[in-house]
Amino acid sequence: MKITDVLVIGAGLAGERCAIEAAAAGQSVLILSLVPPRRSHSCAAQGGMQAALGNCAKAEGDSPDVHFLDTVRGSDWGADQEVARIFADNAPVAVRELAHFGVPWTRLRPGTNRYHIKGQQVDIEEPEENAGLIMHRDFGGTAKWRACYAAAGTGHATLYAVDSQVVRLGIDVLDRMEAISLVHDGERCHGAVVRCLRTGRLETILAKATVIATGGYGRIYGNYTTNAVINEGVGASLALDTGVVPLGNMEAVQFHPTGLWPAGILVTEGCRGDGGYLLNAAGERFLVDLEPEKQELASRDVVSRHMMNEILAGRGENSPNGPHLWLDLRHLGEQHLTTRLREIYEICHDFLGIRPWEALVPVRPTQHYSMGGVRVNKDGQAYGLGGLFAVGEAACWDMHGFNRLGGNSLAETIVAGRFVGARIAEFVSASGPGPDSALGIQALRAQERRLAALAERGQGGRSIYAIRDELGEIMMNRLGVFRSGDEIETAIDDLNGLIKEVEGTGLRSSAPGSNPELTFALRLPGMLKLGLITAMGALARTESRGAHYRTDYPQRNDAEWLNRTLAHWREPADAPELSYEPVGLLDLPPGHRGYGASSQVEMQQTVADYNASVPAAQTAAGRLPSTEPLGARLRPGAWQGAFSAPT
């Protein structure tokens, strides 16, 4: 048994930045990771990190206020606006801190710079006085160029810089270690039971604060995801299994417009930000007419829907793996593609055998990001269970609502890591001695029994991998870019069938040690539950908001659905329980996003009445008190007068 002040589960950017904050405050910190930290999925982020530094010509007039407006509009008003405010206000300092940690951000070159903007080649003069400041590139759904970047390896450069600080501070990272259950008494979390992926041995780690920083769960979409193979929802399952912590907005699933087809590998939005086009099989730029204002750079949910419509109308390129569209980067040229988009060139070279300045890149919308996750208050503390925190993609903090803007998640990892890390440090300082070890031993025994029961099943039934593949097909085909009530209902029936089936499925291998089949068998039931919660949330939400699009309810409905879905799974129930809470205090009133659909069902309440209902409703939903009162960071109306503010 190990004892620590802070146990961080997951060594990606959010987890590590959080750990640094707690360690710098003098607390003992232990990080667990499925893989060596620098292999975490954060390393695969490519195009950029949003922060309103306003350094280049096309960023002039940018500010945290404009970033806040873009983020709330991007979320289709599903975000918690106070959290979006905390985020936008702190993103600049987070990016500058990363420069201090050594990230080699691309810098501004003064003089004439040639850009590709909306199909035109444009020469823009960058002033000498801004030479050497952090450069920005354009991204979708933003009014200004705001994404800071290091070629197309921004996640890699950032993760290496942050991990170098973890090494420097001497923070212990136990890699190849998986948390398989939380130690808790129904009111307070006290750590986790962990399983070593080298030896298979179990151990308890007791902690005053436990942090879930395990990233997303895109692998429930099988191979139809840009996510790494480790993104199997371990953290969401840990929280769900407590029975007292809800998951938020699980039906809010992002599809990235440009997943490489059919491999599913991400091709950054920075490609379109730097001037790349989307083409149909006839070679037409179909988005110019559909989105005159933003063209290829509307938000991801909007572009993905236009792309799927193009494919469904038969204008996609046919391939043995199904139809796709093209990303055209040829006009950006070899020089640009081998420097500022170098990683995209490498992917094209390694996996397609093509040179993107000569050939088109096959793409199709692909599952990419989980807006939903462990529901937390603004301090990052989970609803319903003291001492449990969540941060980054694993959390529903909730600055993304129903659609995340490109470059906002990388920025969230650092902003939230800093902010929540500081709150955790305060929490630990204020908490008394930890639990006696009996609780930890009890939790360990429960996991030993779980493993023994799995081993006793013997061989039988389909392989767990066949069940996983079926899950992926159900999710992509019936809970994809377009959804309808009928299809979701069949998905729910099928998922319930799989949940029953997996209970009786045995293992083929009894190899001593960590046993990769056993490792996956422990995760699969949780993945199926996450799939079911996604489906049930999607069925219940009879409107279209952000990435959640119902063909049978195509309008956003602020009169009935300006809320967040919460899902509990209270054992021994055999189904999740859905409830709803207000999205949070409103500052920017719901309206038109500036791209995509132009009408919605208006809210009936006044903003003042809506806001008055928020504190009590969220407390009833399990929100724990935060250090500062609700709304303290909101700065209502501060955005008025900012560029692109509504008039």
Is 91 an interacting residue with respect to another protein (CB under 8 A)?
no
Q: Quick one: tokens of 138? A: 């354009």
Cα–Cα distance for residue pair 84/356, rounded to 1 Å: 36
Is 339 an interacting residue with respect to another protein (CB under 8 A)?
yes
Shortest spacing between CB 629 and another protein, in angstroms? 24
Beta strands in 313-360 (DSSP E): 325-328
Active site residue 368: no
Question: Segment contacting another protein (CB under 8 A): 90-98, 241-249, 403-411, 434-442?
Answer: 90-98
Is 570 an interacting residue with respect to another protein (CB under 8 A)?
no
Shortest spacing between CB 237 and another protein, in angstroms? 19
Question: Segment contacting another protein (CB under 8 A): 309-317, 351-359, 396-404, 608-616?
Answer: 351-359
Nearest to 481 by CA among 403, 592, 598: 403
Closer CB to another protein, 361 or 614, in the complex: 361
Is 87 an interacting residue with respect to another protein (CB under 8 A)?
no
Is 507 an interacting residue with respect to another protein (CB under 8 A)?
yes
Is 457 an interacting residue with respect to another protein (CB under 8 A)?
no
Cα 416 to its chain centre, rounded Å, is 13
Nearest to 395 by CA among 526, 249, 192: 249
Is 165 an interacting residue with respect to another protein (CB under 8 A)?
yes
Cα–Cα distance for residue pair 563/645, rounded to 1 Å: 23
Stretch 175-194 residues interacting with another protein (CB under 8 A): 175-176
Shortest spacing between CB 76 and another protein, in angstroms? 30
Question: Could you say which of 4, 75, 106, 258 contacts another protein (CB under 8 A)?
Answer: 106
**Pairing mode, strands 189-196 and 202-212:** antiparallel
Shortest spacing between CB 583 and another protein, in angstroms? 30
152 CB-side CA count, 13 A: 22
Stretch 606-645 residues interacting with another protein (CB under 8 A): none
Cα–Cα distance for residue pair 246/576, rounded to 1 Å: 10
Write phi, then psi, for 192 (nearest 5 degrees): -150, 155
Closer CB to another protein, 147 or 287, in the complex: 147
Is 473 an interacting residue with respect to another protein (CB under 8 A)?
no
Is 458 an interacting residue with respect to another protein (CB under 8 A)?
no
Is 199 an interacting residue with respect to another protein (CB under 8 A)?
yes
Is 524 an interacting residue with respect to another protein (CB under 8 A)?
no
Stretch 117-156 residues interacting with another protein (CB under 8 A): 131-135, 150-151, 153, 156
Q: Quick one: tokens of 310? A: 């193009």
Cα–Cα distance for residue pair 373/213, rounded to 1 Å: 10
Is 100 an interacting residue with respect to another protein (CB under 8 A)?
yes
Cα 454 to its chain centre, rounded Å, is 31
Closer CB to another protein, 525 or 590, in the complex: 525
- Surface-to-core class of residue 52, CB atoms within 10 Å of its CB (0-12 exposed, 13-18 middle, 19+ buried): buried
Provide the 10 A C-beta neighbour count for residue 517: 16
Nearest to 209 by CA among 387, 378, 376: 387
Shortest spacing between CB 112 and another protein, in angstroms? 14
Active site residue 256: yes
Cα–Cα distance for residue pair 408/411, rounded to 1 Å: 5
Stretch 225-264 residues interacting with another protein (CB under 8 A): 228-230, 263
Question: Segment contacting another protein (CB under 8 A): 158-166, 178-186, 422-430, 619-627?
Answer: 158-166
Is 265 an interacting residue with respect to another protein (CB under 8 A)?
yes
Question: Which helix (H) or strand (E) covers residue 111, if one does?
Answer: strand 111-117
Helix segments in 56-200, DSSP class H: 64-74, 81-101, 154-168
Is 353 an interacting residue with respect to another protein (CB under 8 A)?
yes
Cα–Cα distance for residue pair 598/202, rounded to 1 Å: 54
Cα–Cα distance for residue pair 15/417, rounded to 1 Å: 7
Is 377 an interacting residue with respect to another protein (CB under 8 A)?
no
Question: Could you say which of 121, 124, 125, 198 contacts another protein (CB under 8 A)?
Answer: 198
Question: Could you say which of 266, 414, 425, 634 contacts another protein (CB under 8 A)?
Answer: 266
Shortest spacing between CB 227 and another protein, in angstroms? 9
Stretch 50-69 residues interacting with another protein (CB under 8 A): 53
Q: With contact defined as beta carbons under 8 Å apart, do 190 and 183 qualify? A: yes
Question: Could you say which of 185, 187, 334, 346 contacts another protein (CB under 8 A)?
Answer: 346
Shortest spacing between CB 187 and another protein, in angstroms? 36
Shortest spacing between CB 514 and another protein, in angstroms? 7
Is 200 an interacting residue with respect to another protein (CB under 8 A)?
yes
Closer CB to another protein, 150 or 396, in the complex: 150
Is 99 an interacting residue with respect to another protein (CB under 8 A)?
yes
Nearest to 364 by CA among 234, 223, 463, 251: 223
Closer CB to another protein, 133 or 288, in the complex: 133
Write phi, then psi, for 553 (nearest 5 degrees): -140, 75
Closer CB to another protein, 508 or 570, in the complex: 508
Question: Could you say which of 437, 484, 496, 515 contacts another protein (CB under 8 A)?
Answer: 515
Q: With contact defined as beta carbons under 8 Å apart, do 547 and 256 qualify? A: no
Stretch 32-51 residues interacting with another protein (CB under 8 A): 35-41, 43-44
Nearest to 212 by CA among 485, 9, 41, 459: 9
Is 355 an interacting residue with respect to another protein (CB under 8 A)?
no
Shortest spacing between CB 132 and another protein, in angstroms? 3
Cα–Cα distance for residue pair 307/253, rounded to 1 Å: 17
> Torsion angle of alpha carbons 199, 203, 208, 210, nearest 10°?
50
Question: Which helix (H) or strand (E) covers residue 337, if one does?
Answer: helix 333-337
> Among the options 272, 306, 423, 523, which is catalytic?
272
353 CB-side CA count, 13 A: 0
Question: Segment contacting another protein (CB under 8 A): 232-240, 481-489, 491-499, 509-517?
Answer: 509-517
Question: Segment contacting another protein (CB under 8 A): 299-307, 472-480, 502-510, 599-607?
Answer: 502-510
Is 511 an interacting residue with respect to another protein (CB under 8 A)?
yes
Stretch 417-436 residues interacting with another protein (CB under 8 A): none
Radius of gyration of the chain (CA): 23
> Among the options 256, 305, 404, 556, which is catalytic?
256
* Ramachandran area for residue 556 (φ above 0: left; ψ -120 to 50: alpha; else beta): beta
Closer CB to another protein, 339 or 477, in the complex: 339
Question: Segment contacting another protein (CB under 8 A): 106-114, 233-241, 305-313, 488-496?
Answer: 106-114
Distances (CA, A) of 585 to 241, 271, 600, 619: 29, 35, 20, 13
Is 324 an interacting residue with respect to another protein (CB under 8 A)?
no
The β-bridge partners of 193 are 181, 204
Number of chain residues interacting with another protein (CB under 8 A): 73
Q: With contact defined as beta carbons under 8 Å apart, do 589 and 607 qualify? A: yes
DSSP SS3 for 120: strand
Write phi, then psi, for 183 (nearest 5 degrees): -90, 120
Question: Could you say which of 509, 604, 606, 640 contacts another protein (CB under 8 A)?
Answer: 509
**Residues with active-site annotation:** 256, 272
